[in-house]
A and B are shown apart, each in its own frame.
Chain A
């Protein structure tokens, strides 16, 4: 039996297919305008990747910002529970996961896991882009960089300059004034990473940075941010394989569970 998990986020949509033992496919697409379109597209891409007919999927769980807008799904769960399930399932070579940091396009979440893997506590950013993936995307665009160039630039910087991250829109104008003062792009990129890492680290400390701390979501692909966060928190973060699809995996696990228990099909 195969279950699918869809994570319809604010920027990208992700799908994972799971057969009870193995992950059969992991798909990521940039969002279409409507969440229902994104959901269908990403599920069909995952099926294509696995060489499966969509009919073989026995249950679909949907999570993420668009979970109620996808228009289908046999189960709807929050990305917080999905994150916890996915990270816990993947585990780490350093022991069980106790904390999950999930950095998405629009929301940042820190989740504390109990010994049994259940969600014990969580924190989310307030309604504002500062402290989320979108913040870095906006600043990269302001510097006329691709995200990859922006990350490389941050890694190349050795100088320390301070930048605020209380408001993503104001941060853009701060970038402009730094450029006007001839501050190198590399230092601005590093400062932007520092600024967001400060905010995220404060949120992590509020919940408690119990190790092993898994870093998931699209933000975990950013090596500069990982390095800055590790420095800021004083611990190593564990980034699982394909961190972007961990939440979709969690959804797939949640969808698979009732299948394995033989719950009735209606």
Chain B
């Protein structure tokens, strides 16, 4: 085993009440209905929607490993012959299920994810093991909860993003992780297999980069909600990435061919902040409905982060792991580290590069690391004359009207 067995392992608790599952289904159906109302959807978008919706029932062809956050590289799972799937959850009804297990002021993402874990028929339970990065406090403790259900690898992270100091250590943790994955898939990770997996991951990243560029040139080419749908269907489904790539290629080519017939007068914005996770697209939905073009983002579930490739000039095992560490850990914009330089740099760079009129900071209620950065981000942008709007909300839809007032008033100030 990768860690000493906890003497306090408890019997798993389940919340398979049909009413809660029905509500989770209703949340997804409502999200689908809203997406259907989007203007100019690509004709091939149904593939990605279906891929996300059918993820919990996707046929299992190999041992399956669930990942949380972008810190755990799926390439390691693919290289070991396994299926990788992200299982962070954005379903507001799953939050209620999670509250049967954890009460108190805990972020909705962690509650919803735990709520899914405790539902036998939900996606996480199709996995044979889970990798849980020890990023924020909530995720660290989530790892402990999850270990009651299935084998868990809590992936330790360095306190700061000082790669000169921590790179070797992170690579050694990735080596331990590779051993853990091999113990689940019963196949050791070989150099050629990892190289091939990196190539696949980079192919996905390159496609997402193209989508980002296409939307930057022509924001009307695709709604950000559809763009998120496309990106997240490559993360939150265990289906092989090889089936996603040709469909994404086709859809992105369609977006690249888009030419607006009239001037696009909507203000361009950059979105930063907490992860927006399927099926909760509320913040981007409100922004787009109020008339903004969100042309770029720094979200770990968004276009910019997922467009980062793993760069390597060498093909040794160590070099491949270093490339993954550089992308997944040291390139991270997550606020769980001691300084916000990466994210603030990225926001400023994106504002300049995209000619954005302002920035929207999505502060997920009870996500303390992001909220602790809010005040400093506000000060930083104010000093540079960049308008900023902070949207503080959770997964529920009851405050949609209040959010709309904020967004509309913010957009009015940009005109």
Q: A-side interface residues toward B, CB under 8 Å?
A: 65, 77-81, 107, 118-122, 124, 126-127
- For A120, the chain B residues whose CB sits under 8 A away are 413
Which A residue's beta carbon lies closest to that of B396? Answer: A127
Residue contact B405 to A79, C-beta cutoff 8 Å:
yes
The 8 Å CB contact of A107, one of B402, B412, B413, is: B402
- For A126, the chain B residues whose CB sits under 8 A away are 392
Cβ contacts A to B, 26 pairs, < 8 Å: A65-B405, A77-B412, A78-B405, A78-B408, A78-B409, A78-B412, A79-B405, A80-B405, A80-B409, A80-B412, A107-B402, A107-B405, A118-B413, A119-B409, A119-B412, A119-B413, A120-B413, A122-B406, A122-B409, A122-B413, A124-B402, A124-B405, A124-B406, A127-B398, A127-B399, A127-B402
Sorted from nearest, which 3 A-B pairs have the closest CB atoms?
A80-B409, A127-B399, A78-B409
Residue B162, interface by CB 8 Å = no
- For A124, the chain B residues whose CB sits under 8 A away are 402, 405-406
A119 to B: closest C-beta gap in Å: 5
A121 to B392, CA, bound (A): 16
Most chain A C-beta atoms within 10 Å of own C-beta, residue among B393, B398, B412: B412
A244 to B132, CA, bound (A): 53
Which A residue's beta carbon lies closest to that of B382? Answer: A121
- For A119, the chain B residues whose CB sits under 8 A away are 409, 412-413
Most chain B C-beta atoms within 10 Å of own C-beta, residue among A79, A120, A127: A127
Most chain B C-beta atoms within 10 Å of own C-beta, residue among A77, A79, A118, A122: A122
Residue contact B413 to A65, C-beta cutoff 8 Å:
no
Most chain A C-beta atoms within 10 Å of own C-beta, residue among B392, B399, B406: B406
Residue contact A127 to B413, C-beta cutoff 8 Å:
no
Residue B313, interface by CB 8 Å = no
- For B412, the chain A residues whose CB sits under 8 A away are 77-78, 80-81, 119
Residue contact B401 to A65, C-beta cutoff 8 Å:
yes
Q: B-side interface residues toward A, CB under 8 Å?
A: 392-393, 398-399, 401-402, 405-406, 408-409, 412-413
Residue contact B409 to A81, C-beta cutoff 8 Å:
yes
Which A residue's beta carbon lies closest to that of B393? Answer: A127
A141 to B: closest C-beta gap in Å: 23
Which A residue's beta carbon lies closest to that of B375? Answer: A206
Which A residue's beta carbon lies closest to that of B413? Answer: A119
B380 to A: closest C-beta gap in Å: 15
B81 to A: closest C-beta gap in Å: 47
Which B residue's beta carbon lies closest to that of A63? Answer: B405
Which B residue's beta carbon lies closest to that of A76? Answer: B408
- For B408, the chain A residues whose CB sits under 8 A away are 78
A73 to B: closest C-beta gap in Å: 14
A122 to B390, CA, bound (A): 11
- For B399, the chain A residues whose CB sits under 8 A away are 127
A184 to B: closest C-beta gap in Å: 35
A80 to B406, CA, bound (A): 8
Which B residue's beta carbon lies closest to that of A65? Answer: B401
A65 to B: closest C-beta gap in Å: 6
Which A residue's beta carbon lies closest to that of B290? Answer: A78
Which A residue's beta carbon lies closest to that of B390? Answer: A123
- For B405, the chain A residues whose CB sits under 8 A away are 65, 78-80, 107, 124
- For B392, the chain A residues whose CB sits under 8 A away are 126
A127 to B406, CA, bound (A): 12
A80 to B409, CA, bound (A): 6
A79-B405, A124-B402 given; 18 more Cβ-contact pairs under 8 Å: A77-B412, A78-B405, A78-B408, A78-B409, A80-B405, A80-B412, A81-B412, A107-B402, A107-B405, A118-B413, A119-B409, A120-B413, A121-B413, A122-B409, A124-B405, A124-B406, A127-B393, A127-B399
A35 to B409, CA, bound (A): 21
A198 to B271, CA, bound (A): 32
A77 to B412, CA, bound (A): 9
- For B401, the chain A residues whose CB sits under 8 A away are 65
- For A78, the chain B residues whose CB sits under 8 A away are 405, 408-409, 412
B299 to A: closest C-beta gap in Å: 22
A28 to B405, CA, bound (A): 22
- For A118, the chain B residues whose CB sits under 8 A away are 413
Which A residue's beta carbon lies closest to that of B400? Answer: A127
A124 to B390, CA, bound (A): 10
A122 to B402, CA, bound (A): 13
A81 to B412, CA, bound (A): 8
- For A65, the chain B residues whose CB sits under 8 A away are 401, 405
A124 to B410, CA, bound (A): 12
Which B residue's beta carbon lies closest to that of A83? Answer: B409
B319 to A: closest C-beta gap in Å: 48
Which A residue's beta carbon lies closest to that of B406? Answer: A124
A68 to B: closest C-beta gap in Å: 8
- For B406, the chain A residues whose CB sits under 8 A away are 122, 124
Which B residue's beta carbon lies closest to that of A106? Answer: B402
A119 to B413, CA, bound (A): 6
A190 to B: closest C-beta gap in Å: 29
A208 to B: closest C-beta gap in Å: 11
A78 to B411, CA, bound (A): 10
B282 to A: closest C-beta gap in Å: 12
Which B residue's beta carbon lies closest to that of A120? Answer: B413
Which B residue's beta carbon lies closest to that of A10? Answer: B401
A121 to B405, CA, bound (A): 13
A122 to B398, CA, bound (A): 22
A251 to B: closest C-beta gap in Å: 13
B295 to A: closest C-beta gap in Å: 23
A81 to B410, CA, bound (A): 10
- For A79, the chain B residues whose CB sits under 8 A away are 405
A42 to B402, CA, bound (A): 23
- For A127, the chain B residues whose CB sits under 8 A away are 393, 398-399, 402
B272 to A: closest C-beta gap in Å: 18
Which B residue's beta carbon lies closest to that of A80? Answer: B409
Which B residue's beta carbon lies closest to that of A122? Answer: B409
A263 to B: closest C-beta gap in Å: 16
A155 to B128, CA, bound (A): 66
A133 to B: closest C-beta gap in Å: 15
A205 to B: closest C-beta gap in Å: 13
Most chain A C-beta atoms within 10 Å of own C-beta, residue among B392, B408, B409: B409
A81 to B398, CA, bound (A): 23
A132 to B: closest C-beta gap in Å: 11
